[in-house]
Amino acid sequence: MKKVILITTLLAALPGRAEVTFTKDVAPIIFNHCAGCHRPGEAAPFALLNYNDVRKRARLIVRVTKDRVMPPWHAEKGSFVFHGDRRLTEKQIDTLAQWTQAGAPEGDPAKLLALPKFTAGWQLGKPDLIVKMTEPFPVPAEGRDIYRGFVVPLNLPKDKWLKAIEFRPGARSVVHHCLFSYDTTGEARRMDRADRQPGFRRMRRQGRGVGSLGGWAVGGQPRELPDDLAWHLPKTADLVLSIHYHPSGKPERDQSSIGLYFTDQPPRTAFAGVQLPPAFGALSGVDIPAGNKAYKVTDSFTLPIAVEAFAISAHAHYLGKHLQMTATLPTGKQLNLLDIPDWDFSWQEQYQFKDFIKLPKGTRLDSMVVWDNSEANPNNPTVPPVRVRWGVESKDEMGSLTLLCRPAPGERYATLTTAYARHFTEVRTRTTREMAARVQGTNGDRILDAFLRRNDRNRNGKIDLSEAPRWLKPSFDRADTNNDNALDAAELRAARDRLKLNR
């Protein structure tokens, strides 16, 4: 052991292998990738703004960066670059490990990099409209995560084009992420009135009059929709917030604020969300057996026009494990649009591509959602696991990926939405047929087992020739494949299946 240490020390002392120091090597990584959240007033629980802050936590930093728990970013490196990608490179992770291994030397403090200039207050500048949750929501010290909806009346004087939403959490230690939507149906207000606590449990209504407006998660930066794109916000719209709270150990009260940024310029074209499977998986017959480690649903859709994609997101509940969407071009080339191999319900990012992705007509989009309903999944909300089906509650499951895209110049928006509506119907029809077949199969086995029990008078688990009803006797020998003069359950099933095939 002593020899190893000696060799390591000698190697480290060799010329050309410069000492890794905080000032020279570590500060640029920490200041640019961690300090945005790890500073007073932000979401992270402790600051990483100077040598002492970082030295104290050197081992922890090495562990969480190696495990890629921090900085939080769940998408694997794909075919395209996302805005705000927080992942560290392997070299940066190695640098942090080497520094810690070397005893975390400070280096020359006079050469320390200046901290980045963090913008105070609203990151996108003064919003055109600032609204706030109408009342504070109490978050208890502990317990399960809370998913809560809040309606915020906007009282717009006229329809608006919305470029961006900036979310300012009220209680940063507990607000983990927030999804934005609008509601013109009054449903959110009704649910709010019906619930005695501030807010309401879950927005149930989807479809006409309700629309997504993106979201925010810890560590995320607000961003405008690219180019001339904008959301249409009807003047009767209420803003709906779906906030995910993580209890922190002490009671908190959250009253978050939201800034809205409008534009007077209507976009050249509307954009669409191609969600696969559609309706968050509601039409795909999601039915996850207890204990199943890898229950999979897939869906495919071929683009009827050329599109320009600009963002992608994924959604599943606690059992979600692996979510992926690929695009296969007409040339056969496959592109990885989004791959989240270790899904975490707590980190629902909206991934915006750095540049528009041009996908030609005939491109096939393939999505895959895998759920893990085993006890080994730490996110499983029910132990021992139980059968889980599709539903809106967090103990139910959903699962889909959504690609946001606009028609390429010269293409028609309606062609895309009509084809997608057709796909929606096809998925529903296919699932209905599959489920009907499954039910029929199950019932068939039940009928067959009952037939065996009824006729097995000597209770040997088989139907002997003397026990067979008259109509079975002519085909008895053909069914008795092992020639033991009796039909067991397997032989009866095989005979039934042969009969079905010959129909």
**Continuous H helices in 117-228:** 187-194
C-alpha–C-alpha distance, residues 211 and 207, integer Å: 7
The answer to whether the CB of 234 falls within 8 A of the CB of 162 is no
Which range in 2-10, 205-213, 245-253, 257-265 contacts other proteins by CB under 8 A? Answer: 245-253
Q: What is the residue whose two structure tokens read 């280096």?
A: 107
Which range in 1-9, 23-31, 69-77, 446-454 contacts other proteins by CB under 8 A? Answer: 69-77
- In one letter, which amino acid is 480? D
Q: CB of 71: closest distance to other proteins in angstroms?
A: 11
Residues in contact with 195: Cβ distance below 8 Å, sequence separation at least 6, in sequence order: 201
Interface with other proteins in residues 307-336 (CB under 8 A): 318
Q: CB of 150: closest distance to other proteins in angstroms?
A: 23
380 lines the binding site for other proteins (CB under 8 A):
yes
Q: CB of 440: closest distance to other proteins in angstroms?
A: 36
- In one letter, which amino acid is 59? R
Task: Give 95 or 100: the residue with its C-beta nearer to other proteins.
Answer: 100
Q: CB of 120: closest distance to other proteins in angstroms?
A: 22
Task: Give 8 or 197: the residue with its C-beta nearer to other proteins.
Answer: 8
Q: CB of 144: closest distance to other proteins in angstroms?
A: 7
Taking each helix axis as running N to C, give the angle between helix 489-502 and helix 413-455, from 0 to 180 degrees, rounded to the nearest 10.
130
**Which residue in the set 142, 195, 227, 426 belongs to the binding site for other proteins (CB under 8 A)?**
142
450 lines the binding site for other proteins (CB under 8 A):
no
Mark 101-140 with x for binding to other proteins (rule: CB under 8 A) and - for no binding: xxxx------------------------------------
Can you count the helices (H) and strands (E) in the chain? 9, 22
Interface with other proteins in residues 207-226 (CB under 8 A): none
Task: Give 263 or 379: the residue with its C-beta nearer to other proteins.
Answer: 379
Nearest to 357 by CA among 306, 398, 296: 306
Q: CB of 132: closest distance to other proteins in angstroms?
A: 24
**Which residue in the set 39, 63, 190, 201 belongs to the binding site for other proteins (CB under 8 A)?**
63
Task: Give 184 or 374: the residue with its C-beta nearer to other proteins.
Answer: 374
C-alpha–C-alpha distance, residues 217 and 225, integer Å: 17
60 lines the binding site for other proteins (CB under 8 A):
yes
The answer to whether the CB of 341 falls within 8 A of the CB of 362 is no
The answer to whether the CB of 256 falls within 8 A of the CB of 170 is yes
Which range in 58-66, 124-132, 396-404, 437-445 contacts other proteins by CB under 8 A? Answer: 58-66
Task: Give 70 or 239: the residue with its C-beta nearer to other proteins.
Answer: 70
Which range in 68-76, 235-243, 290-298, 483-491 contacts other proteins by CB under 8 A? Answer: 68-76
255 lines the binding site for other proteins (CB under 8 A):
no
69 lines the binding site for other proteins (CB under 8 A):
yes
Phi-psi region of 477 (alpha: psi -120 to 50; beta: other; left: phi over 0): alpha
Residues in contact with 479: Cβ distance below 8 Å, sequence separation at least 6, in sequence order: 472, 487, 491, 492, 494, 495
Task: Give 113 or 141: the residue with its C-beta nearer to other proteins.
Answer: 141
The answer to whether the CB of 46 falls within 8 A of the CB of 318 is no
Which range in 113-121, 129-137, 247-255, 262-270 contacts other proteins by CB under 8 A? Answer: 247-255
C-alpha–C-alpha distance, residues 101 and 109, integer Å: 20
* Backbone φ and ψ of 131, nearest 5°: -125, 165
**Which residue in the set 332, 378, 409, 474 belongs to the binding site for other proteins (CB under 8 A)?**
378
* Backbone φ and ψ of 412, nearest 5°: -100, 130
C-alpha–C-alpha distance, residues 265 and 161, integer Å: 7
User: Site size for other proteins, by CB under 8 A?
Assistant: 36
Interface with other proteins in residues 333-352 (CB under 8 A): 344
Task: Give 123 or 292: the residue with its C-beta nearer to other proteins.
Answer: 292
The answer to whether the CB of 370 falls within 8 A of the CB of 321 is yes
Pairing of strands 175-183, 238-245: antiparallel
55 lines the binding site for other proteins (CB under 8 A):
yes
Q: Pull the structure tokens for residue 440.
A: 């029929």
First to last CA, the chain: 77
248 lines the binding site for other proteins (CB under 8 A):
yes
DSSP state of 209: T
**Which residue in the set 32, 50, 255, 379 belongs to the binding site for other proteins (CB under 8 A)?**
379
Q: CB of 155: closest distance to other proteins in angstroms?
A: 37
2 lines the binding site for other proteins (CB under 8 A):
no
Task: Give 59 or 457: the residue with its C-beta nearer to other proteins.
Answer: 59
- Per-residue HEC secondary structure of 35-70 comes to CCCCCCCCCCCCCCCCHHHHHHCHHHHHHHHHCCCC
Q: What is the residue whose two structure tokens read 């008895």?
A: 476
141 lines the binding site for other proteins (CB under 8 A):
yes
Instruction: Report the interface residues with other proteins, using CB under 8 A.
Output: 45-46, 55-60, 63-64, 67, 69-70, 72, 100-104, 141-142, 144-145, 247-250, 318, 344, 375, 378-383
